[in-house]
Chain A
Amino acid sequence: MLEVTRLHVFYGRAHILADVALSVDKGEVVALLGRNGAGKSTTLKSVIGLLRPADGEIRFDGEPIAGQPSHVICRKGIGYVPEERRVFSDLTVLENLEVGRQAPRTGLPSWTTDRLFDLFPNLAELRTRPAGRMSGGEQQMLTIARTLMGNPRAVLLDEPSEGLAPVIVEQMAATITELKRAGLTVLLSEQNLRFATRVADRAYIIEKGRIRYEGTMDALMADESVRSAYLTV
């Protein structure tokens, strides 16, 4: 469903991604693992169009999307949940959701605020609270809900578990499993291997802007040498 090949990305003169390739099938949850600064966020930002790749191809449903503006990519059905949350802090929860709202897609059940409040019960109580005055965990839930309002077919989650209390991490894992059950395709970046094992089917490991490993989550868990080479600090 989502296919990245030969992706090269620069920040100014710095060559950040070199020849990155990965693919995600429909309905799959894939984890992109790597240490700090490995290039996970850069990869996701390139897919959603916030960064312009210098070279390479990105296809969504077979259609090339590399280099297009992010709103066009989003409307094709890719949702993006940024690492730094980036909620609109002056806007209320409902208004944040409104910004994310896009027309329903034919043939797919669409997300409504009511459905989202079922999925994230604590948001329901905060409808009119400005997002700037919510806890980190609540904000993380809000960014996911906001992205779902666009009725995406695939979601990019940048480190969904980062900086969350253990009980919230638990909740986040449940949410992702829920999304998978609803038929969504998920590509998430993670440093937290335990979290990734809970939710992902397959994994890629990125290190210094290159893909170093590709395999099922089970295979990765069985391969102690790979994990110690690329993941433990």
Chain B
Amino acid sequence: MGFYIVQVLTGLSSAAALFLVASGLSIIFGVTRVVNLAHGSFYMLGAYIAYSLIDLFGRGGLGFWGGIVLAAVAVGMIGAIVEVLILRRVYQAPELFQLVATFGVILVIQDIALLVWGAEDLVGHRAPGLTGAVDIMGTPLPAYDLALIAISPVVLAGLWLLFNRTRWGTLVRAATQDREMVGALGVNQAWLFTGTFFLGSMLAGLGGAVQLPKGGADLLMDFNVIAAAFVVVVVGGMGSIFGAFLAAVLIAELNAFGILVFPEITLVLMFLVMAVVLIFRPWGLLGSPEAPGQKGQQGPPEQPLRPAPVRVQMAGVAVVGFLALLPVVAGPFALVLTVDILIFALFAVSLHFIMGPGGMVSFGHAAYFGGGAYGAALLIHYANSNMESAMALGPVLAAVLALVFGWFCVRLSGVYLAMLTLAFAQVAWSVVFQWNDVTGGDDGLLYIVKSAWADTAQSWVPFYLLTAVLCLSAMLFLRRVLFSPFGYAMRACRDSELRSHAIGINVLEQRWLAFTLSGVAAGVAGSLYVFSKGSAFPDYMSIPLSFDALIMVLLGGVKTLLGPIVGAVTFTWIQDEISRFEYWRFFLGLAIILLVIAFPQGIAGFGRRYLGPWFGIRAEEAQ
């Protein structure tokens, strides 16, 4: 009996950090509509800063708790600074664009943390007076867990008072519903947003700081917590603090007990819970039924798609000619880089296909890229297949994943859809990561050999040409689809579900097919990638890779067809150039942030405006 009670209490105590992080994320999204990917980084900073402050203040009670509180405040201030310096400049950009900037912030913070605190994991200080264990019917429970259990309700009550009993809180709740109207009533939104960022980041920092005695501080905390925090926010319902609390407790308890029954499942469990909740309650447990993705729409509406004018077609032919001639002039390094660029361009185009014209944002597109990669790799390993058939059949696995995941995802919209794609991708990743016997787990599948004619040990030219032909054809094919009746129907569904339904389009089916097609294209990119690298790793399905694709599309410009290609070229090229430096993440992050500020309509959007007229795109069209 005591054992089970302790298990329940352990679950409650691990819910604390989760709740703190998730509530901050939810508050920030609710008011500013920014999906703050850097929220996990704020959590990580909370742990590190608390570590240093407690060292500084000494380990007495005052030093410990003072360190934790001050660390939270410090992180809050960092969040506010990020808002003022970076995000404030890009609120007018198209929806979701701000998340690119927050991704840059993640990279910058990662390297700053590495520089300041080193690569070693830090073991947290024990809380003075709470170092022992309490006995609960014969089973010991760490005394600090009791402190953690107390924290969530206290914070929850504090937030409730803040939001319901203060003018600032009232304004924040009003802004969550209609921030434009709040501005028209004389409230300076800028400071409301900064305050929100301060509060939200502070909560994340507090979460990181209070878990220090249990979990310590390490450099992987940021990505590890961000997926969990998204799940909690979505399960609880966007913008509902109480929902976040419920969801954090639910997930932490399921974990605490799941680990007893079936230890391997814990990585997946949380995402399965989310999938189940969203299928039955598409707006989370306590969320309200509105698609959060639609209200914050910023900027002028998208231009109708037009076939390319002659000069653009000529430019396209020139690019193809350039690619064809490249092997003559370029050495193997340039060819390898171009192979990467082509593969990621196809990957980004496939994501843009559903994100732009399809109106479905995916935060987990690497699932299908990795699906294609593993599909091919498994065929080579277990079916003795040759390169050609593995490459052709590899994407089938991506198709299957997209069909299954897509069936659920297309029923949602906006940020909920995005989060569900992330959840499914994480499930797929966990399976690959943990199914050692089949996938090789973390060690991956090695020796994915190419056919003799494409052997890159001899020359990269044949494989390069193969990649170029396949990627370009796939991209052109997706482009053709957009100008076909299928593409028109797809955009109709995006723009008005109701009216599309009325003219006889089966909206769900349409979205499902588009989702699957996009997954297959990502799978083609993945199966090429696995041969170009000669191995398959779980990284090919991981969240960072999904985010990379997202960054490419948004950075390039989601409202133009060229955008994803421009984004992929820029991103892959910059990454290649920069990753030779020691602190390359810092510089890549900085580069991304600067690009975001310089090109709030995306790079292609910018190019269209200034180069568009020359290419025969009418000036007034080029927003």
Q: Which residues of A contact B (CB under 8 A)?
A: 11-13, 48-50, 69-71, 74-75, 80, 82, 86, 88-91, 95-96, 98-102, 146-147, 150
The answer, yes or no, to whether B180 is at the interface (CB within 8 Å) is yes
Most buried by B among A86, A99, A146: A99
User: Top 6 nearest A-B pairs by Cβ distance?
Assistant: A74-B186, A12-B300, A88-B174, A99-B174, A70-B184, A70-B183
> Are A98 and B186 interface neighbours, CB within 8 A?
no
Nearest A-chain residue to B300, judged by Cβ:
A12
Complexed CA–CA distance, A89 and B177 (Å): 8
Interface size on B, residues (CB 8 A): 22
> Are B621 and A74 interface neighbours, CB within 8 A?
no
Nearest B-chain residue to A149, judged by Cβ:
B185
Shortest distance from the beta carbon of A58 to any chain B beta carbon, whole Å: 15
Given contacts A69-B183, A82-B181, A100-B185, 17 further A-B contacts (CB under 8 A): A13-B621, A50-B184, A69-B188, A70-B180, A71-B184, A71-B186, A71-B189, A80-B184, A86-B178, A88-B174, A88-B181, A91-B174, A95-B173, A99-B170, A99-B185, A101-B167, A150-B186
The answer, yes or no, to whether B187 is at the interface (CB within 8 Å) is yes
Complexed CA–CA distance, A147 and B182 (Å): 11
* Residues on B with beta carbons closer than 8 Å to the beta carbon of A82: 181, 184
Q: Could you say which of A50, A91, A102 contacts B186, with CB atoms under 8 Å apart?
A: A102
The B interface is mostly helix, strand or loop, or mixed, namely: helix
* Residues on A with beta carbons closer than 8 Å to the beta carbon of B177: 88-91
* Residues on A with beta carbons closer than 8 Å to the beta carbon of B187: 71, 99
Nearest A-chain residue to B288, judged by Cβ:
A90
Nearest A-chain residue to B621, judged by Cβ:
A13
Q: Could you say which of A86, A90, A101 contacts B181, with CB atoms under 8 Å apart?
A: A86
What are 9 A-B pairs with beta-carbon distances under 8 A?
A12-B300, A69-B188, A70-B180, A88-B174, A89-B177, A91-B177, A98-B167, A99-B182, A99-B187
Complexed CA–CA distance, A98 and B182 (Å): 11
Nearest B-chain residue to A150, judged by Cβ:
B186
Shortest distance from the beta carbon of A98 to any chain B beta carbon, whole Å: 5
The answer, yes or no, to whether B504 is at the interface (CB within 8 Å) is no
Complexed CA–CA distance, A48 and B186 (Å): 10
> Are A75 and B186 interface neighbours, CB within 8 A?
yes
> Are A99 and B171 interface neighbours, CB within 8 A?
yes
The answer, yes or no, to whether B623 is at the interface (CB within 8 Å) is yes
Shortest distance from the beta carbon of A103 to any chain B beta carbon, whole Å: 9
The answer, yes or no, to whether B620 is at the interface (CB within 8 Å) is yes
Which residues 163-204 in B have Cβ within 8 Å of A in the complex?
167, 170-171, 173-174, 177-178, 180-189
Complexed CA–CA distance, A71 and B178 (Å): 14
> Are A98 and B170 interface neighbours, CB within 8 A?
yes
Q: Could you say which of A11, A91, A102 contacts B173, with CB atoms under 8 Å apart?
A: A91
* Residues on B with beta carbons closer than 8 Å to the beta carbon of A69: 183, 188
> Are A146 and B185 interface neighbours, CB within 8 A?
yes
Complexed CA–CA distance, A87 and B183 (Å): 13
Nearest A-chain residue to B618, judged by Cβ:
A13
> Are B173 and A50 interface neighbours, CB within 8 A?
no
The answer, yes or no, to whether B301 is at the interface (CB within 8 Å) is yes
> Are B185 and A90 interface neighbours, CB within 8 A?
no
> Are A88 and B186 interface neighbours, CB within 8 A?
no
* Residues on B with beta carbons closer than 8 Å to the beta carbon of A75: 186
Shortest distance from the beta carbon of A229 to any chain B beta carbon, whole Å: 31
Q: Could you say which of A12, A48, A150 contacts B623, with CB atoms under 8 Å apart?
A: A12
Q: Could you say which of A13, A49, A100 contacts B620, with CB atoms under 8 Å apart?
A: A13
Shortest distance from the beta carbon of A142 to any chain B beta carbon, whole Å: 12
> Are B620 and A88 interface neighbours, CB within 8 A?
no
* Residues on A with beta carbons closer than 8 Å to the beta carbon of B171: 99
* Residues on B with beta carbons closer than 8 Å to the beta carbon of A99: 170-171, 174, 182, 185, 187
Shortest distance from the beta carbon of B451 to any chain A beta carbon, whole Å: 52
> Are B184 and A74 interface neighbours, CB within 8 A?
yes
Shortest distance from the beta carbon of B361 to any chain A beta carbon, whole Å: 23
Complexed CA–CA distance, A140 and B180 (Å): 18
* Residues on A with beta carbons closer than 8 Å to the beta carbon of B167: 98, 101
Shortest distance from the beta carbon of A86 to any chain B beta carbon, whole Å: 5
> Are B185 and A147 interface neighbours, CB within 8 A?
yes
Shortest distance from the beta carbon of A46 to any chain B beta carbon, whole Å: 12
Complexed CA–CA distance, A11 and B173 (Å): 29
Nearest A-chain residue to B180, judged by Cβ:
A50
> Are A95 and B178 interface neighbours, CB within 8 A?
no
Shortest distance from the beta carbon of A48 to any chain B beta carbon, whole Å: 6
Shortest distance from the beta carbon of B294 to any chain A beta carbon, whole Å: 15
Nearest B-chain residue to A81, judged by Cβ:
B184
Complexed CA–CA distance, A80 and B180 (Å): 12
Q: Could you say which of B170, B178, B185, B301 contacts A12, with CB atoms under 8 Å apart?
A: B301
Complexed CA–CA distance, A146 and B173 (Å): 16
Shortest distance from the beta carbon of B10 to any chain A beta carbon, whole Å: 35
Complexed CA–CA distance, A37 and B91 (Å): 29
* Residues on B with beta carbons closer than 8 Å to the beta carbon of A102: 186
Most buried by B among A74, A89, A147: A74
Complexed CA–CA distance, A89 and B174 (Å): 9
Shortest distance from the beta carbon of B228 to any chain A beta carbon, whole Å: 27
Complexed CA–CA distance, A150 and B182 (Å): 12
* Residues on A with beta carbons closer than 8 Å to the beta carbon of B183: 50, 69-71, 74
Q: A71-B189, A98-B167 are in contact. Are A88 and B178 (CB under 8 A)?
A: yes
* Residues on B with beta carbons closer than 8 Å to the beta carbon of A80: 184-185
Most buried by A among B173, B181, B185: B185
Complexed CA–CA distance, A146 and B180 (Å): 15
Complexed CA–CA distance, A48 and B184 (Å): 7
Nearest B-chain residue to A74, judged by Cβ:
B186
> Are B184 and A88 interface neighbours, CB within 8 A?
no
Which residues 339-392 in B have Cβ within 8 Å of A in the complex?
none
> Are B180 and A74 interface neighbours, CB within 8 A?
no
Nearest B-chain residue to A86, judged by Cβ:
B181
* Residues on A with beta carbons closer than 8 Å to the beta carbon of B174: 88, 91, 95-96, 99
* Residues on B with beta carbons closer than 8 Å to the beta carbon of A70: 180, 183-184
Shortest distance from the beta carbon of B113 to any chain A beta carbon, whole Å: 37
> Are B185 and A74 interface neighbours, CB within 8 A?
yes
Q: Could you say which of A86, A95, A147 contacts B170, with CB atoms under 8 Å apart?
A: A95
Complexed CA–CA distance, A147 and B174 (Å): 14
> Are A90 and B173 interface neighbours, CB within 8 A?
yes
* Residues on A with beta carbons closer than 8 Å to the beta carbon of B623: 12
Nearest B-chain residue to A101, judged by Cβ:
B167
Nearest B-chain residue to A146, judged by Cβ:
B185
Q: A12-B623, A13-B620, A99-B171 are in contact. Are A71 and B181 (CB under 8 A)?
A: no
Q: Could you say which of B170, B180, B301, B621 contacts A91, with CB atoms under 8 Å apart?
A: B170
Complexed CA–CA distance, A98 and B187 (Å): 11
Most buried by A among B186, B300, B620: B186
Nearest A-chain residue to B191, judged by Cβ:
A71
Complexed CA–CA distance, A75 and B186 (Å): 6
Complexed CA–CA distance, A88 and B623 (Å): 33
Nearest A-chain residue to B623, judged by Cβ:
A12
Complexed CA–CA distance, A101 and B171 (Å): 11
* Residues on B with beta carbons closer than 8 Å to the beta carbon of A101: 167
Most buried by A among B167, B180, B184: B184
Most buried by B among A71, A91, A100, A102: A71
As a 0/1 sequence over residues 272 to 293 of chain B, the CB contacts with chain A under 8 angstroms (1 = contact) are 0000000000000000000000
Complexed CA–CA distance, A74 and B183 (Å): 8
> Are B185 and A150 interface neighbours, CB within 8 A?
yes
Complexed CA–CA distance, A91 and B420 (Å): 30
Complexed CA–CA distance, A70 and B180 (Å): 9
